[in-house]
Amino acid sequence: MRTLVLLFVACALSGIAIPMPEDLPLLAAGATLTEPGALLGLAVAGGLGVLCRDAVFFLVGRFAGERALRWRWVVWMLGEGRLARARDLVERRGGRAVLIARFLVGFRSAAFLVAGAMGVRPRDFVVWDLVGITASVPLLLGLGAVVGAPVTSAIGWLLEHRLLVVAMAALVGLAWATSAQASAHEAENPA
C-alpha cells in the first residue's frame, strides 16, 4: 500500500513540485515488480497521480485563460517555443492534442496548460488524457520491469567505481577537446 501511495504522490507532483517527468517514478516502480498481479495496482495509482498532475496544468489554463500563457514564470518554466508549438498543436488538433502530448516528454505540461487556456472542453481533456494514460502508464511500468534490474545493477556498479568513471570521463573530455582544437586549427590554417 505504501508503494502505491508513494507512486501516486510522485506522479502527481512530477513537473510541479518535483522537477522530473512522471516517466521516472513509473519506470522505477516497474523495476520493483515481483509479481504480475501488482501491475494493476501500480498502473491505477500511477495513472491517477498522472491524471491529477495533468489536470492541474489544464485547470490553471482553463481558469486563467490566455493570460496564463504570458505569465513570466510560465514562460520561463515552459519556454516560449514550447508554448508556441503547443498552441499550434491545440489549434490543429483540438482535444486530441492532449493525447499526442502525452507521448512527448518535456511537452506535456505546456500542451495541457495551452489546452485549458484555449478552451478545450474538460470532458475532452479527461477522455484524451485517460486514453493516453491507459497506454503509457502500463507501458512504462512494463519497461521498468524488463530493464529495471540491469539498469539498477549498472547504476550500482557506476557508484562503486565512481573514481574510475570520473577518470574515464575526463580522458574522453580531454580527447574531445584536443580533437576540437586540432579541427579549429586546421580550419584556420588550411594546408
Q: Do the Cβ atoms of 62 and 117 come closer than 8 Å? A: yes
Grouping H, G, I as helix, E, B as strand and the rest as coil, residue 34 is coil
**Measured between alpha carbons, how far is 58 from 52 in angstroms, rounded to an integer?**
10
pTM over 0.75: no
**Measured between alpha carbons, how far is 116 from 103 in angstroms, rounded to an integer?**
18
pLDDT value at position 75? Answer: 85
pLDDT value at position 147? Answer: 84
pLDDT value at position 157? Answer: 75
**Measured between alpha carbons, how far is 176 from 100 in angstroms, rounded to an integer?**
38
Q: Do the Cβ atoms of 21 and 105 come closer than 8 Å? A: yes
pLDDT value at position 13? Answer: 92
pLDDT value at position 152? Answer: 67
**Measured between alpha carbons, how far is 54 from 111 in angstroms, rounded to an integer?**
10
Residue given cell 475532452 in the structure block: 124
Grouping H, G, I as helix, E, B as strand and the rest as coil, residue 152 is helix
**Measured between alpha carbons, how far is 96 from 125 in angstroms, rounded to an integer?**
8
**Measured between alpha carbons, how far is 53 from 22 in angstroms, rounded to an integer?**
9
- Sequential pLDDT tens for the chain (191 residues): 788 999 999 999 988 877 778 888 898 888 888 787 888 999 999 999 999 999 999 999 999 988 988 899 888 888 888 888 999 999 999 889 999 999 988 888 889 999 999 999 999 999 999 999 999 999 999 998 888 777 667 767 767 887 887 888 888 888 888 887 877 778 788 76
CA atoms in the 13 A half-sphere facing the CB of 151: 12
pLDDT value at position 182? Answer: 79
